[in-house]
Amino acid sequence: MPVTSDPEAALAAQLRGRGQRVTSQRVLIHRGLRELGRHATAEEVLEAVHDRLPGVSLPTVYATLELLEELDLVRRVSRAPHAALYDPRPEPHHHLVCTRCGRIEDFDLELELGGAVRAARRAGYRRTRSELVVSGLCAACADG
């Protein structure tokens, strides 16, 4: 598959490569998350695209975000007990998660996690990825 810096062209190529349709809903939901430029809930993505897709439903947004995650175009970040967030930054990176307010921040760190991926594959896991998640209190919660 050709490498492109155009996210919508990359989405279209991946969908077509899987024999799936390139729909306006898929394109606009992907664009909406990228335009938000931050970790966002499915509800926030719905709000971001509502004017451009007036009839879109929350289940459609969830299904599309799950598809985008399968295509490695977004990352789903869990932050129990809060709602999952979708990260428009698909390349490997790590996260800081506040255990009180649920805030998530990206951070970059050179860290070899290949051993964790290999162990997961030996255990039968497929489509594995690894990331470091550091949990604690963000500065605002620690000071409050």
Q: Reduce the DSSP state of residue 98 to 3 states and report it.
A: strand
Residue 46 confidence (pLDDT): 98
Structural class in CATH, domain 92-144: alpha beta
Q: Comparing C-alpha atoms, which of 68, 84, 85 is closest to residue 27?
A: 68
Let me know: does 130 contact 118? Beta carbons within 8 Å. Answer: no
Residue 4 confidence (pLDDT): 57
Residue 136 has pLDDT above 50, yes or no: yes
CATH number of 1-90: 1.10.10.10
When pLDDT is cut at 50, 70 and 90, the band that residue 91 belongs to is confident
pLDDT per position as a tens digit, 109-121: 888 888 888 999 9
Residue 1 confidence (pLDDT): 43
* Sequence ranges of the chain with CATH classification 3.30.1490.190: 92-144
Residue 82 has pLDDT above 80, yes or no: no
* Sequence ranges of the chain with CATH classification 1.10.10.10: 1-90
Residue 16 confidence (pLDDT): 95
Residues 144 and 135: their CA atoms lie apart, in Å, by 17
Residue 2 has pLDDT above 70, yes or no: no
18's tokens:
């899987």
Residue 22 confidence (pLDDT): 96
Residue 140 confidence (pLDDT): 95
Let me know: does 8 contact 31? Beta carbons within 8 Å. Answer: yes
Select the more confidently predicted residue: 59 or 133.
59
